[in-house]
Structure formats: structure tokens, C-alpha cells
Structure 1
């Protein structure tokens, strides 16, 4: 016999309900039954009240008695009704899967595509619970852990470090400040992508250049200056960016070695590009790259209350 009951909540089983019915018929008190089952007296009291049925005796008089079978049926009914009904049906699932495979984030799916009938966290939960038949890698931004690279002792120094960049640029107070990078598609010597991201509007420029050299980068930059305003450019320490000042008349800032987060906006956009052109892509066309650029610049952003980068840039 147990002298104490456990404080960890666990539902009564059918066997326990049958024992309660038997011991009540034997004349045991509810407190005694609680000690025998290791339960709280209040648990037994509530259970007996919920399991009451009317039973007629030989004198055709009705009495309230506890029925374990009735109590178990009531428990099953209440449990069924306690489960929150889900909005996820076949049609909604197909819509969400379609947009996720079309590289749309859960935030945009919930707010823009589904007009707020569900929240972004609900989409994430359904995905992580496997209810959509997708994996985390199907997301626009699949979470991966990356090894930390050691900091080199003598980093390259082509000009001003990012520490010297004015606070107004860091706070994205004005248009015309860009982050730049190159995206390599294959290890073999081949054409690469030149990407530039405008810090305030997140407008993206993607161009195919001949190779990963300063000559190829500068040649394309000179063309871009005819249509875009460059007040500053923030680059990494790659050799292809060593001579940026020769191509564009603006302030150039360089991030610290192995500190990609200092150009986080551009890095995030590069990850979006990888969804279309993963590593190992041998060939791509100017038309295909232009379509990716258009898609990115017309993609609704939560930070802009679901306006697009092109709307923000042109509105500025």
C-alpha cells in the first residue's frame, strides 16, 4: 500500500477505474482508494463524480453509483473533444507545399499568399512536425551549422576597414550603399556571378562575369555605374575586389577576414540565389540570371511590411 501519491499528472486507466468500482462496492472510502492507487484524494473524488450513473434497485428505486465503463467512455469522449481542430486540410497543404517549393518563406506564405488565415509559426510547426511531407532543407533558408574558420594572422588590407564606415551607413539611413560579392558555381575555372545588394532597400543586382578576377569585376562595375548610384561599397578581402576604387568613384570598405556577417545582407541574398543555382551548376544563361534577379526584387519582405525591394528602392 502506498502512503503517498505522485504529483506527476497521469490519466487514470481503465484498469484503475475498474479497481475504483470494485473497492467502492467493498465499502472502501475514496481516501483509502487514493492511497491504494497512489493518487490524490481529489483525483478519486472527481473521478467518482464524473462516473456516476443512475441504477434501479429491486424496489424500483434509483441510486447514483459509479460505473467504470461509463467513466471510461466519458473520458474517451472528452479526450476527443479536447484535441484542437487543425486548419490543415489537403487543399491548404498543397498550397503551402507549392509555395515552399517555389522558394517562398513561411512569413510571406502566411501574410501575403494566405491573407493571414494562419500564422507563419503554424507553417513552421507543420513543416517541422512532418505534416507537409517536406524537410528543413526544402526551406528558403535551411539552417545549417558551419565550422568556425580560424582567423588568419596577416589579413589582406586593400583599403579602409569596415570599422571606419560611418554609422549612418550601418543604420541604413540612406540609399546608394551597397555590399558586393562573387558567387562561384563550380570549382573549375568558369564564369561566376557578381552580386550587389543595396543595404536600405535590399535591391539585388546579379551579373555573369567572365571569371573571378579584379578585371572582370571592375569591367562590370563600370557598366553598372551608368544606371545605379554608388555612394559606398562594402566588400570582403577577396583579390577580385582589390581594385574597386579604380572602377567606381565612391567610398570602399572592407570587412574583416572570415567575418561574413559584416556583409550579412549580401550573404543572405547569395543563399537565395543558391536555391536556383546550387554549387556545381555548370551552365547558366543571362536570361536565367535575370529571372532570378527579377524574382528576388519582387519578393515581398516582412521587414518592409511585405512591400518588395523594387517598390522600396523606387519609392526612395
Structure 2
């Protein structure tokens, strides 16, 4: 890909080269998305038989992002040396992020984190990939609320995958030190970042307004019934 500047064609790779070598007075922190290296594909378990439903059975209301509470879930590995990773949940409608630092990506640890998250957040459904860390979600959610994407079909959880790039802006692969406080900062930063798909509201604003409208709607119904 080429960029035209004052009649001169400059390659995208050249621009990144200049940035990484300090030629433009910018750093990787100035980029919304750092340039990515070759990614390793997450392998699906060949013996995986989900105790849930295929994404093909997911309700159209979820596909169309009509209400909050329907999340996509993934793990983001920080370093293979210590196996620390992030558990990331992304609300399909508001793009609201829930990010937790966990010691490893075993199904047991993932479920423990999810049970704590459920004490603070309402999750109506969960869409996961076929990774072994998600093969016991039925211990946390009822099977009719669990959906599994097809193996290797990362685009079926596009919301989650796209937002993981925001995380990588702060935590490139190989990050060796991370604290829950730093993770909370990143979560807050992402949730307060205005998005074009939300009419330039932040996920936090969209999530909060939707919940507020739902609360007032319920109050209105109660009020009407009381005076009928």
C-alpha cells in the first residue's frame, strides 16, 4: 500500500520503519494499533464437543446487537514463560470491556474468574471459540446461553478480536510484568474511548445509557400497573 504526500509515493512499511527508528518524532505509543508481527493461530481441540450451542443457533437479536449483556469471550496471552494471561469479555452491543488478569488459561481458572465477574455484571449469553479454556463454561452458565464459534472462524467473534488490538497497544506480546491495577487502567481507557460505531459515544456511555433506559422503562411499567 502506498501513501501520496506532496506528489511523492511513500510505502506504508517505510512509514512504520521511520516511526520505529525515530525519524518522525513518533513512537509506537502514538499509534492506535501497533504494527503486528506474524500471529500464531489458536488451535481448536480436536476432541472438543461443546456443551452448548453452535453460533448458528444464536438468536437474531444477539446477532443484530439489540441489547446489552451478550458477550464474546477470549484470552490474551501475555507471556508464555509464566503463562499469565488476560480474560477478556466484550459486550456485542456497547463494546463494553471486562478484563481480568488470571494466572493461566485453564478451564478451572477461567470459570473461577467468570463467577467473580457475574457478581458485578449481568451476562445474558456468552460466545466463545473452541479453546480448551472454554470447554467447561456449562459449570458457570446454562447451556442455552453458551454459543461456540466454528473452529478457526475468528471473524465470528470479530468484536472481541478487534478489541484485543486495543489491549495489545498497551501490552505487546512478551509483557512480563502486569498488575490488576494496571489491567483496570487499560479496561477503563478502552471503555472511555469514543467509537464511530457508537456515534462517537464511548462504550461506557452507551452501556450506561442503555441500562438507565431499561431501568426507567421498568419503573414506568410498575407505575402504570399501580394506577390501573
Residue 156 (structure 1) shift: 2.5
Residue 166 (structure 1) shift: 1.3
SS of 1:195's equivalent in the other structure is: strand
- Equivalent residue, structure 2, for 1:63: none
> Partners in 2 of 1:199 and 1:264 — Cα distance?
9
8 Å contact kept, 2:48–2:135: no
- Equivalent residue, structure 1, for 2:97: 204
RMSD in angstroms over aligned alpha carbons?
Answer: 3.0
- Equivalent residue, structure 2, for 1:278: 172
Distance 1:135 1:240, change over 3 A: same
The structure 1 residue matched to 2:74, chosen from 181, 205, 216, is: 181
Residue 135 (structure 1) shift: 8.4
> Partners in 1 of 2:57 and 2:155 — Cα distance?
16
Residue 188 (structure 1) shift: 2.1
The structure 2 residue matched to 1:251, chosen from 140, 145, 160, is: 145
> Partners in 2 of 1:135 and 1:255 — Cα distance?
36
Residue 252 (structure 1) shift: 0.5
Higher mean C-alpha deviation, range 255-264 or range 144-153: 144-153
> Partners in 1 of 2:41 and 2:121 — Cα distance?
35
The structure 2 residue matched to 1:312, chosen from 180, 199, 206, is: 206
The structure 1 residue matched to 2:190, chosen from 293, 296, 307, is: 296
Q: How many residue pairs get matched? A: 192
The structure 2 residue matched to 1:216, chosen from 88, 109, 119, is: 109
> Partners in 2 of 1:152 and 1:213 — Cα distance?
14
SS of 2:48's equivalent in the other structure is: coil
Residue 150 (structure 1) shift: 11
What residue ranges of structure 1 are gaps of 5+ in the alignment?
Answer: 1-83, 85-123
- Equivalent residue, structure 2, for 1:140: 32
> Partners in 2 of 1:304 and 1:287 — Cα distance?
27
What residue ranges of structure 2 are gaps of 5+ in the alignment?
Answer: 1-5, 7-11, 211-228
> Partners in 2 of 1:152 and 1:281 — Cα distance?
24
SS of 2:108's equivalent in the other structure is: helix
With normalisation by structure 1, the TM-score equals 0.54
1:239 maps onto 2:135 in alignment? no
- Equivalent residue, structure 1, for 2:215: none
> Partners in 1 of 2:24 and 2:174 — Cα distance?
29
The structure 2 residue matched to 1:161, chosen from 30, 50, 54, is: 54
> Partners in 2 of 1:278 and 1:148 — Cα distance?
14
- Equivalent residue, structure 2, for 1:12: none
SS of 1:272's equivalent in the other structure is: helix
> Partners in 1 of 2:42 and 2:183 — Cα distance?
33
The structure 2 residue matched to 1:228, chosen from 96, 121, 134, is: 121
